[in-house]
Amino acid sequence: LLASATDFDFFYHVQQWPGSFCDTTGGCCFPGNVKPAADFGIHGLWPNYAACRPAGDTNRTRCWPDFCNAGDTFNPSLISDLRSDMDRNWGTLSCRSNDSTAFWSHEWSRHGTCSNMDQHAYFLAALRYKARFNLTRILLDAGIAPSEERTYCVGSIRDAIGEATGSAPGIECNRNARNETQLYQVYQCVDLAGTGPVPCPAVPMQSRCTDQVKFPAF
Ligand code: 5GP
Ligand code: 5GP
């Protein structure tokens, strides 16, 4: 393992708000046609560099490693004990497949193979981190509840999560079908073991957000 260990600085633990995935022009679909709970879902656990760096032989700059081992493909039987937890907390919302296995396979191939963890440890770490900091609950406790009408200051969302976890997250927004900006994904910075929060290097991204954002019901 040491000889092939991937060099990176921290993980992004990324969660998506289903209301904001589903109310876009693209819409969404649910595995088995069963609507999941009104809770954040895991998108992935992504190895990242603290600063983007030259990609060696080319002119390109890389900000994270990905696809680190093409020979190491996702094997559902290695995480069969995690299956119900995965279904509840890491479901696909894509209409391209009606079960989440393709999503998990993609996340493993692109990001997990760079994590220096085996498949079971990787998926378990992501599940545990979500369970440790319940973002839906943290926001609710701060008075930030999903709403059809309200907007929230994106800074108050970041502060609520930062105070509860000890690390201010990155917030990503998207737009609903009426072109209104809304909270889409939360990026938490996590140590290399995948267990504890770390300060996000530099300024956490705040991509595509405006000062006031919606947090739509689901
Ligand atoms: P998008 O362009 O939709 O933001 O991201 C496309 C894909 O690029 C994501 O699904 C993810 O795999 C990867 N990606 C985007 N931003 C980051 C990042 O900051 N760190 C890592 N490790 N991957 C990212
Ligand atoms: P990324 O490369 O950014 O980590 O993951 C994005 C890829 O996962 C895309 O190919 C997307 O089609 C697929 N995918 C499957 N289910 C989902 C989902 O529920 N949310 C997101 N954001 N991507 C999903």
pLDDT tens, position by position, 156-197: 999 999 999 999 999 999 999 999 999 999 999 999 999 999
What lies within 8 Å, CB to CB, of 187 at 6+ separation is: 12, 13, 14, 169, 170, 171, 172, 200, 204, 205
- Residues marked active site are found at 43, 107, 111
Give the tokens for residue 137. Answer: 């609950």
pTM: 0.97
Average pLDDT, the chain: 95
Question: For the chain, what are the domain ranges?
Answer: 2-214
The DSSP line for 81-117 is GGHHHHHHHS----TT-SSTHHHHHHHHHHTGGGTTS
Token code pair at residue 184 = 């889409």
Ligand 1 centre from 176 Cα, in Å?
Answer: 20
Q: Tell me the C-alpha distance between 68 and 137, whole Å.
A: 35
Give the CATH class of 2-214: alpha beta
For 189, counting Cβ atoms within 10 Å of its Cβ (0-12 exposed, 13-18 middle, 19+ buried), the class is: buried
- Kindly report, residue by residue over 96-121, the tens digit of the pLDDT: 988 999 999 999 999 999 999 999 99
Point out the ligand 2 atom lying closest to the alpha carbon of residue 94: 16
Ligand 1: nearest atom to the Cα of 65: 22
Judge if the beta carbon of residue 93 lies within 6 A of ligand 2: yes
Is the CB of 40 within 6 Å of ligand 1?
A: no
